[in-house]
Amino acid sequence: MKTNKPDPYQPCPCGSGKKYKFCCYAQGQQLSSEHPLAQIKKATQFPVSQCAVNVGWQQQGMANVFVIRQLPNGKYMFGVYLVDLMLLGVKDTFFNTNLSAESVQSMMRRTDMPVESIDYEDARNLIFGSIEFARQNHFEPHPDWENSKHIIEPERPFQPKFSFGMDGKPVYYQGIDDEVDEILAKLPKT
Ligand SMILES: [Zn+2]
């Protein structure tokens, strides 16, 4: 990742080969002044620069997925998705935008879990697949999904790749701030 403020007379961060001032500069200036919610709705205009997930997510049944896109002003936007593969789907999520590369990296380090790269399509598969599985069990994603979904193209179909639950059946592991009674009430009585 590059530093936050591109030099106007250096090559543009978009990789066009033109100088920044004569390429994405104006678009970047305009974007910096827009509301974060307006920026997030345009997310798919900006290239994905990094996708990461905690090491061992398949064994743990819990994935912390990061999707980061590069903005034309040399900054970044990201979405974070805490995915329960066993039952609840996207149980927490948030996004932020207009951040320097350093801020993005320190946000990722804050989770205290080693992360590794994940293919963008695999990240989408994992997140959308978990939501589909959770909905079969009557769980909806966290309300902030309505914003952070824009980072991973919510309208484009995905090819199911991963399996969820234990042998396809939901399993509930209690999290720290789960509404336990509400969750248990939705589970089949078995
Ligand atoms: Zn450019």
Inside any domain, residue 8: no
Inside any domain, residue 141: yes
Q: How far apart, in whole angstroms, are the C-alpha atoms of residue 163 and residue 18? A: 45
Inside any domain, residue 190: no
Name the amino acid, one letter, at 135. Answer: R
The total of structural domains in the chain comes to 1
- pLDDT value of position 2: 46
Name the amino acid, one letter, at 117. Answer: S
Contact 72, 28 (CB under 8 A): yes
Ligand 1 centroid vs 149 CA: distance in angstroms? 25
Inside any domain, residue 37: yes
* Weakly modelled stretches of the chain, pLDDT under 70: 1-4, 176, 188-190
Ligand 1 centroid vs 152 CA: distance in angstroms? 22
Exposure class string for 77-101: b at 16+ Cβ within 10 A, else e = bbbbbbbbbbbbbbbbbebbbbbbb
Ligand 1 centroid vs 25 CA: distance in angstroms? 7
Inside any domain, residue 99: yes
Ligand 1 centroid vs 2 CA: distance in angstroms? 14
Inside any domain, residue 12: no
- pLDDT value of position 183: 79
Residue 157 belongs to domain spanning: 20-166
Contact 20, 12 (CB under 8 A): yes
Inside any domain, residue 131: yes
Contact 125, 67 (CB under 8 A): no
Helix or strand (DSSP H, E) at 57: helix 57-60
Answering whether pTM is above 0.85, one says yes
Inside any domain, residue 122: yes
